[in-house]
Structure 1
Amino acid sequence: METVLFSSQIANDLKQFLGHLEYSSLGLIMDSNTKNTCLPLIEKILPESVRKFAFPAGENHKNLETCVKIWEWMTNEGFDRKTLIINLGGGVTGDMGGFCAATYKRGVRFINIPTTLLSQVDASVGGKLGIDFQGFKNHIGVFTQPDAVIIAEEFLKTLPENELRSGFAEVLKHGLIRNADYFRILKFENWQDQPWKEIIEKSVNIKKEVVEKDPKESGLRKILNFGHTIGHAFESHFLGTQQHLLHGEAIAIGMICEAYLSTKKSGLSKEELKEVEKVILSVFGHFEFSDEDVPTITQLCSQDKKNVSSTMYFSLLRKIGACDFNIPVSHQEISESIHYYQSIKL
Structure 2
Amino acid sequence: MTLSYSLTATDGAARAGTLHTAHGEVQTPVFMPVGTAGTVKGMTADAVRSTGARIVLGNTYHLMLRPGAERVARLGGLHRMMDWQGPILTDSGGFQVMSLSALRKMDKDGVTFQSHIDGSKHRLTPERSIEIQHLLDADITMSFDECTPHPATHEVAAKSMRLSMAWAERGRRAFVPREGYGLFGIVQGSTYADLRAESVKALTDIGFEGYAVGGLAVGEGQEAMFATLDVTTPLMPQDKPRYLMGVGTPDDIIGAVARGIDMFDCVIPTRSGRMGRAYTSQGVLNMRNARHCDDGSALDPACDCPACTRHSRAYIHHLIKSQEMLGPILLTWHNIRYYQQLMARLRAAILAGRFAEEAAAIRAGWSTPA
User: Which TM-score band applies after superposition, normalised by the shorter structure?
Assistant: 0.3 to 0.5
- TM-score, with structure 2 as normaliser: 0.36
Which has the larger share of helix?
A: 1
